[in-house]
Structure 1
Amino acid sequence: MTPRDYALLAQEAYSAKPDIGKADSASRAIVRQTAGGLVVAFPGTDNLDCVAADLDAHPIDVIGVGQVHHGFWSAWGAIAVDVLAAIDGRPVTLVGHSLGAAIAIMAAAAMVVGGRPPAAVYGFEPPRVSTNDSVASLLAKVPLNLFKNGNDIVPDLPIEWRHAGVIRQIGRATLPFPNVKDHAIARVIMALANDQVSAKTA
């Protein structure tokens, strides 16, 4: 499985009927068995509940995890039991775009604290999730694959917060300043396809 394959699953999470959670909420996911193993993919912002989760940007202290974004942690918490039941202790890759990437990171942090870390995380255009390096330290041994396309502004928010890991830059910017056009999952998929072609011809 390539990063583009996982990005396609992140895209599917927007349109497919959720296997977990409600379609009109911020807390939902699809579960897929793939060539790379079990995947749980979380969609990003596409309804009012998601917007509310994004804007709920005050920090809360979570035991064992550290200081995190309240909206992201709450969105994860609403489906945590169901996601963990669907995984049932099996190795899993967590995937998401935008808000979905943040939820995937929150899920990974919770799983590490619970003693069952995920096999990997693929986060496309993730916003920042913590006010400090607590989540990054917690996930230091988890294979984190975080991507930012072009000049997408979302991975730069909230301002002065921290990412869970290193962000890999992909794609060409559509505009010479921070924007949301570069944020679209379709543009991410295109950038990753071009990235694979470049890697093969290098």
Structure 2
Amino acid sequence: MNARAFALIAQEAYSAKPDIGKADSASRAIVRQTDAGLVMAFPGTDNADCFAADFDVIPVPVPGAGEVHRGFLDAWRAISEPVLAAIAGRPVILVGHSLGAAIGIMAAMDMTLAGKPPVAVYAFEPPRVSPDLTIRTLLAKVPMHLYKNGNDLVPNVPLAWQHAGLLTKIGKPLLPFPNVRDHAIERVIAALSAQT
């Protein structure tokens, strides 16, 4: 499977009934068996609970991972037990868009700290997750595929914070300045389609 196929699963996470969590919360996921193996996908911001998680920007310490975004961590930890039970120790690929990308990164962090890292992370339009680089160091051996489309503003926030890996830039900017129009998962899929 390629990045576009994983982006399509990230898109499906918005409309499919969650396999884990509640549809009107920030903490939810779908589980899919694919040709590449088990995939856990987290949708992005589409309700008030999600916006609350996005704006809860207090850094909190996680032993072994440095400081991380409290809202993202809390959204992940609210479903971590059922997600890990669904995985049941099997290899898994974590996928998400926007807030879902950040939740996937938080999941990768906890799994790696537990000695059971994911096979890979596909994070589309991820916001920054930490004010320091400790999480990037922790996840250095996990294949991190972080994508930024055009001039999307979301991967630039919070300002002066760090990503858990290096960003791959895709797509042509819709506007010549930072914007949220380039953020849409449909635009990500179109940009990835143009590459194949």
Match of 1:154 in 2: 154
Residue aligned with 2:106, SS: helix
User: Distance between the aligned counterparts of 1:57 and 1:140, measured in 2?
Assistant: 24
Match of 1:199 in 2: none
Q: What's the TM-score, normalizing by structure 1? A: 0.97
User: Distance between the aligned counterparts of 1:135 and 1:75, measured in 2?
Assistant: 17
Contact conserved, 2:39 with 2:93, CA < 8 A, in 1? yes
Instruction: Return structure 1 stretches of 4+ with deviation > 6 angstroms.
Output: none
Cα deviation 1:127-159 (Å, max 9, x = unaligned): 000000011000000000000000000000000
Match of 2:173 in 1: 173
User: Distance between the aligned counterparts of 2:97 and 2:45, measured in 1?
Assistant: 9
Deviation at 1:39, TM superposition (A): 0.1
Contact conserved, 2:64 with 2:134, CA < 8 A, in 1? no
| Equivalent runs, 1:62-101 vs 2, <5 Å | 62-101=62-101
Letter in 1 for 2:154: V
Match of 2:186 in 1: 186
Deviation at 1:63, TM superposition (A): 1.7
Q: Note the aligned Cα RMSD (angstroms).
A: 0.4
Deviation at 1:103, TM superposition (A): 0.3
Unaligned stretches of 5+ residues in structure 1:
197-202
User: Distance between the aligned counterparts of 2:68 and 2:145, measured in 1?
Assistant: 19
Match of 1:127 in 2: 127
Letter in 1 for 2:190: M
Q: Which deviates more from structure 2 when the two are superposed, residues 81-90 or residues 60-69?
A: 60-69
User: Distance between the aligned counterparts of 2:157 and 2:23, measured in 1?
Assistant: 25
Residue aligned with 1:145, SS: strand
Match of 2:41 in 1: 41
| Equivalent runs, 1:108-127 vs 2, <5 Å | 108-127=108-127
User: Distance between the aligned counterparts of 1:21 and 1:65, measured in 2?
Assistant: 25
Unaligned stretches of 5+ residues in structure 2:
none
Aligned pair count reads 196
What percentage of aligned pairs have identical amino acids? 66
